[in-house]
Amino acid sequence: MNAEMIAALRELEREKGIAFETILGGLEEAMASAYKSWWKQQHPELDEESFGVRASIDPESGDLRVWIQELSEKENEEGEVISEVVSEQSVEVTDEFKGRIGAQTAKQVIFQKLRDAEREMTYEEFAGREGDVVTGIVQQQERRYTLLDLGKVEALLPQAEQVPSEPYKHGERLKAYITEVRKGTKGPQIVVSRTHPGLLKKLFELEVPEISEGIVEIKAVAREAGHRSKIAVSSREPGVDPVGACVGPKGSRVRMVVNELRGEKIDVVPWSADAATFVANALQPAKVKEARVDPGSQTALVIVPDYQLSLAIGKEGQNARLAARLTGWRIDIKSETQLAEEQRGSVRGSAGQQSGGEVGAGAESGGIEAEAVSSGGADGADAEAAPSDEPAGEPVEG
């Protein structure tokens, strides 16, 4: 060690942000370990358990000093055997150790500290970014996961977070939603998702300035990745149409989100503080004649014209199912004809017990009942937030 080495360590502190004391402390520990091994080679009769080595490096001149310690074993209060320093004696560090062993040890320690520091800096850069959207390049595809190159680090896209209908090609750019950042033995590990509802919400925030500025708010999100999604939006300013802001001129804004999600259909509906109005809006593009809500049982009875029944239910009940998730209400859909028959007593059972068929079943009644799997949307979107001043708009499908 010399003054030039100290100057180099100071330069590393400025360039890499690694504390000088951290590197110096690591060097002292490594030098002590290396000198103990070298001392044992010079004195093979010594027992390694009977002696230790302490090293110190002058932070100004870089001079290395070494002490040989005499150790003895004793039991502590917990009954564990520990080593205690009885005495120590300063020894001269030979040129052989300084030139060959010392230089090699210093090189290894510095490189290791640099790697550790870079990993720590990368972890700190991504720690706390759960919920952000990152853009990566597809690097490697395995049976259980896909790797995305984010520049400084690779992100893991597990198979469970991938959209089955999306093929990922090597070298293509892909946006993903960060779900977890954790420390690993080889650096930070970042887990991302393409199916999370938060990805849809963040993409709209990137494309719609009114959302990023806080004028328009996404109240709830419901998503079946790769197929169809619904988002409920409201405006904090009476003069701003929240649905129109999200759709953009000639559908340009929503089209950008649809393209990023590889053609996933998106319905943008107006949010309302009135539960009946919100449920009716959530079933768009179907036209709802009437919606009756029962807050006690958290259920909603929706009446639609006969020709709108299949549209309200959607393919395999998808539209009703997404509306239930978006609103948090259990939705029972009936056509006008079915309701009239029930009122005349032509449908079996009492009117209060009839709710149409369950999703994917119940062809007899012509109705459908959809139950919310989860209320709100990505990142805890709340379906009971402040009411919007905007009237219900037309359905928008990307």
Q: CATH no. for residue 186?
A: 2.40.50.140
Per the listing, tokens 């959809």 go with 370
Contact 55, 28 (CB under 8 A): yes
Residue type, 53: V
Q: Are residues 221 and 339 in the same domain?
A: yes
Distance CA 278, CA 118 (A): 50
Average pLDDT, integer, range 87-98: 81
* Chosen domain end from 82, 101, 126: 126
Q: Do 89 and 60 have their domain in common?
A: yes
Same domain, 106 and 168: no
CATH number for position 338 = 3.30.300.20
Would the pTM count as exceeding 0.85?
Answer: no
Q: How far is CA 136 from the centre of its chain?
A: 14
Q: What is the domain range of residue 159?
A: 133-193
Q: Are residues 186 and 211 in the same domain?
A: no
In this predicted structure, which of 151-155, 186-190, 362-366 has the lowest mean pLDDT?
362-366
Q: What is the mean pLDDT of residues 274-286?
A: 92
Mean pLDDT of 274-288: 92
**Whether 286 and 364 share a structural domain:** yes
- Closest C-alpha among 63, 71, 50 to residue 92: 63
What 3-state class would DSSP assign to 307? helix
- What is the pLDDT, as a whole number, of residue 370? 60
Residues 254, 382, single domain; the answer is: yes
What total number of domains does the chain contain? 3
pLDDT higher at 320 or 111: 320
Instruction: Determine the Cα–Cα distance for residues 165 and 226; give it in Å rounded to an integer.
Output: 6
Q: Answer yes or no: do 85 and 170 share one domain.
A: no
pLDDT value at 124 more than 70: yes
- Pick the last residue of a domain from 146, 178, 193: 193
Q: Are residues 26 and 54 in the same domain?
A: yes
Question: Backbone phi, then psi, for 274, in 5-degree steps?
Answer: -80, 120
pLDDT over 60 at 298, yes or no: yes
Asked if residue 233 has pLDDT above 90, the reply is: yes
Is the four-CA dihedral 159, 163, 165, 167 of positive or negative sign? negative
Same domain membership, residue 206 and residue 176? no
> H-helix or E-strand containing 138?
strand 133-141
Q: Which of 34-43, 75-84, 134-143, 197-206 has the highest mean pLDDT?
A: 197-206
Q: In terms of DSSP H, where are the helices of 131-251?
A: 197-207, 209-212, 242-247
Average pLDDT, the chain: 80
3-state secondary structure 237-249: CCCCCHHHHHHCH
In a shared domain, residues 17 and 113:
yes
- Domain end: 106, 126, 146, which one? 126
The pair of three-digit structure tokens given for residue 256, joined into one six-digit string: 């950008």
pLDDT band at 359 (very low <50, low <70, confident <90, very high): very low
Helix (H) or strand (E) holding 330: strand 330-335
Tell me the three state secondary structure of residue 153. coil
Residues 142 and 58 in one domain: no
pLDDT value of residue 375: 36
Take residue 188 and report the two structure tokens written for it: 């930070």
Residue 36 burial (CB count, 10 A) = 20
Reported as a pLDDT band with limits 50, 70 and 90, residue 121 is confident
Residues near 155 by Cβ (< 8 Å), separated by ≥ 6? Answer: 134, 136, 147, 148, 176, 178, 190, 191, 192
Residues 183, 82 share a domain = no
Look at strands 154-158 and 173-184 and give their pairing.
unpaired
d(CA 87, CA 74): 15
Sequence-distant (6+) residues with CB within 8 A of 95 are none
- β-bridge partners, 156: 147, 191
pLDDT of residue 282: 93
The sheet with strand 368-370 has its strands ordered as 290-294, 299-304, 330-335, 368-370, 357-358
Which pLDDT belongs to residue 368?
53
Where helices occur in 183-226 by DSSP H, the ranges are 197-207, 209-212
**CATH number for 72:** 3.30.1480.10
* Helices then strands, each counted (H, E), the chain: 12, 17
